[in-house]
Chains A and B, each alone.
Chain A
Amino acid sequence: MVPISHILILAGMIFALGVVCVFAHRNILMILIGVEIMLNAAGLAFVAGSMRWGMPEGQIFVLFLMAMAASEVSVGLALVVYLHKRKRSVNIDDFNEMKD
């Protein structure tokens, strides 16, 4: 049996990678990927907890999480396509209209 701490450390590392991915890139696609990575790291932590205490709720949560991530990606990608159509760019710093 893998100790829960190992799994949590792994989940933390994946989450950190996701975070770095989100704010190191200017590309919207890479940011979306970073968000996905963070979501999955959180899902891993849920599964670990579910295993440790023998309760199914964590796994059910992960199922919801996957569904949510899938729908989020579809909406997010649709937005990216739309944004790219408007400005021929996927650089997030080009979209600063909210400031004005």
Chain B
Amino acid sequence: MASPITWILLLPLLGALFNGLLGWMLKRRVVETVACASVAGSSVAACIAFAGMGNGTDVVLYDWLSAGGFSAPFTLRLDAISATMAVMVTGVSFIIHLYSVGYMREDEGFARYFALLNLFVAAMLLLVLAGNLPLMFVGWEGVGFCSFGLIGFWYSDPANATAGRKAFIVTRIGDVAFGVALIWLFYLTGTTDIAAINAAAPALPAATATYLGLLLMFGAAGKSAQLPLTVWLPDAMAGPTPVSALIHAATMVTAGVYLLMRMFPVISVSSDALAVITTVGAVTAFYAATSALGQRDIKRVLAYSTISQIGYMVMAVGAGALSAALFHLVVHAFFKALLFMAAGCIIQALHEEHDIFNMGGLMTRMPTVFWCFLAGALALAAAPGTGGFFSKDEVLAATLGHGGALYTALWALGEVTAFVTAFYIFRVVALVFMGGMKKESAGLPARLPGTMVWSLVPLAVLAIAGGIINLPATWGGSGYLSGLLASQGLAPHAEAGHGWAVQAVSAVVCASGIGAAYYMNLINPALRERLAARYADLNDFLFRAWGLDALYYRLFVTPFGNIADLLWHRVDEGAINRALDGIGDGLAWTGSMMRLSVTGRASTYIMATIVGAAAIVLYFAVNGGV
């Protein structure tokens, strides 16, 4: 009997294989059951493994790569970070699978969908549990591939297929940096094992560590959609909504943060790299939160909010607060999956309506969805007492506690972002659930299957109560997660105690954000109209997410297209094809000339033979023999 750690990984993989190979000839119910059961089993295995983790365990399944000094066995490592991640990934994925059963009830591609969904979970678990970097890279790429397949799931619409390709290509840019860092680390330390690399990290020169830190950061930026590689995530909304929930909450985007947490000992050698990482996180958080303000599509609001929240996690890693990053990661997974799934309910109920300005008054018509969405929104806005409050507070307190002008400034930026966050999410709440229905033509909300609505409830409870896994001392908690990480020597230092001061600031910021959103959207909508009219340019600027997409199009996509066009029309068609055609034509002409001599009359040939022989004789006669 293999250890539960193996089963965590194996079950979703088997589910994916089963559904991928046999799903086409099975009934929908069988495919759904296999997909959900495999992830449920994996989740149980993860919980058992978490409970029996001890001080961290390694499971070596077999020798995978081995050549000379290079070896990368198939090692699964369970420690505080990976076990927490595994429990979170499998748990949230299981709920998303249940939700998918309802959401995809009318889609014909269910076998492909569930196979990819299972494979996605398996790849993410491989990434999380991998004991060495090459194995982690396999999971890393697997996640990228599955996101490509699922974002472009409805591939018959070119826009969806393009979104899938965009996600694949943009994340691939970051993967290059990760690959370089991987090889460089092997070159420097002679090992691929994560623990061994981390043990050897303090001996690295600071300058090298800075470059390595930046490479890892860039790799993480690709997967986690941090600046400058944010652009793929909003477009990833093209996939089915449960996929968005899966990508944004449990898998994929957290991979970058996870990488930074795993490789923290290497990064922490260089304070410059840490400063860059914190800055990237804080600026991304601010950038995405402001962009979310300008969006009209409910899923795009949530997408930018994901980028923003991941920014907080990256910021926490930069500030050295690993447990805060992990804490926020887990809580964010709960409330973001919840928000996406609730948004999916709303969208299906309103017959594929995405625009929040066409919604309204759903509070009374969809009460369960409303209360769940509200729970998620409160957690995202970090209302005091919710899970999001404690985790975000830890991130901000750690940044402030780090000291120095830069970190203090970034803390202030983080607080501003928190205000914007509260504002934009309660703008959505106000527009979607309160007031009256703006577009009556949409009709009454359709009835939704129970699996969709009721799978929101456990996540809502977790979003509100998620704080207990790392409750600070000021609230009578013991900081379970921080203690767990510290006991295994994974968190570099115990976080500074969070005073009431930072919490009070966060609470005030949150309350004012919610209040402002409430006032502008419900009590005094005329003010919003006036502001929108006066600052139409700003609104448009935010809607286009600061024009980053357009900038990339101008800087990379259009020039690339032009170069490709040039190579195609001028070089390939113009030069190469015409040269080859010219050679062919020349040979054909020569041949037609030569053909004139072929008369078919023997006398001509005899004459030619004799003339040729005479010429040869003459040549030797003139040149004096051989």
Contact = CB atoms under 8 A, between A and B. Distances in A.
Interface in A21-69: 22-23, 26, 31
A98 interface: yes
A92 B598 CA distance: 15
A99 interface: yes
B607 interface: yes
B600 A22 contact: no
A92 B602 contact: yes
A19 B610 contact: yes
A96 B599 CA distance: 8
Contacts of A19: 610
Contact of A93 (B602, B607, B610): B602
Give chain A's interface secondary structure class.
helix
Interface residues of B, number: 9
B29 interface: no
Contacts of A97: 600
B606 interface: yes
B600 A98 contact: yes
A6 B331 CA distance: 119
A82 interface: no
Contacts of A93: 601-603
Interface string A69-100: 00000000000000000000000110111111
Given A19-B610, A23-B610, A99 B600 contact: yes
Contacts of A92: 601-603
Nearest to B611: A23
A26 B603 CA distance: 7
Contacts of A100: 600
A22 B602 CA distance: 11
Nearest to B614: A19
A52 B607 CA distance: 33
B617 to A, nearest CB: 10
A63 to B, nearest CB: 24
A92 B603 CA distance: 7
B625 to A, nearest CB: 15
B601 A96 contact: yes
A23 B598 contact: no
B610 A22 contact: yes
Nearest to A25: B603
Interface in B575-619: 598-603, 606-607, 610
Interface string B154-181: 0000000000000000000000000000
Nearest to B598: A99
Interface residues of A, number: 13
B84 to A, nearest CB: 86
A95 B610 contact: no
Contacts of A99: 598-600
Contacts of A22: 606, 610
Contact of B600 (A23, A26, A31, A96): A96
A98 B605 CA distance: 12
A22 B448 CA distance: 103
Contacts of B599: 96, 99
A76 to B, nearest CB: 13
B607 A95 contact: no
Contacts of B601: 92-93, 96
Contacts of A95: 602
Nearest to A93: B601
A93 B600 CA distance: 8
A26 B314 CA distance: 99
Contacts of B598: 99
A37 to B, nearest CB: 13
B602 A23 contact: no
A1 B588 CA distance: 61
B161 to A, nearest CB: 56
A23 B607 CA distance: 6
A98 B603 CA distance: 13
Contacts of B607: 23
A31 B609 CA distance: 14
A99 B595 CA distance: 10
A27 B603 CA distance: 10
Contacts of B600: 96-100
Contacts of B606: 22-23, 31
A52 to B, nearest CB: 17
A73 B364 CA distance: 116
A9 B168 CA distance: 89
A100 B599 CA distance: 10
Contacts of A26: 603
A46 B100 CA distance: 102
Nearest to B605: A98
A97 B598 CA distance: 12
Nearest to A28: B602
Contacts of B602: 92-93, 95-96
A4 B600 CA distance: 42
A68 B606 CA distance: 20
A26 to B, nearest CB: 7
Looking at B598, B603, B607, which has the most chain A CB atoms within 10 Å of its CB? B603
A100 B598 CA distance: 10
A95 B607 CA distance: 16
Nearest to B602: A92
A22 B607 CA distance: 9
Contacts of B610: 19, 22-23
A88 B602 CA distance: 17
A68 B585 CA distance: 47
A31 B602 CA distance: 11
Nearest to A97: B600
B552 to A, nearest CB: 65
A96 B604 CA distance: 11
B471 to A, nearest CB: 99
Nearest to A35: B606
A23 to B, nearest CB: 5
Nearest to A100: B600
A17 B132 CA distance: 94
A31 B603 CA distance: 10
Which 8 A-B pairs have CB atoms at the shortest separation, nearest pair first? A99-B600, A96-B600, A92-B602, A93-B601, A23-B607, A23-B606, A22-B606, A19-B610
Interface of B: 598-603, 606-607, 610
10 contacts: A23-B603, A23-B606, A23-B607, A26-B603, A92-B603, A93-B602, A96-B600, A96-B601, A96-B602, A97-B600
Given A22-B610, A23-B603, A98-B600, 9 more contacts: A22-B606, A23-B610, A26-B603, A92-B602, A95-B602, A96-B599, A96-B602, A99-B600, A100-B600
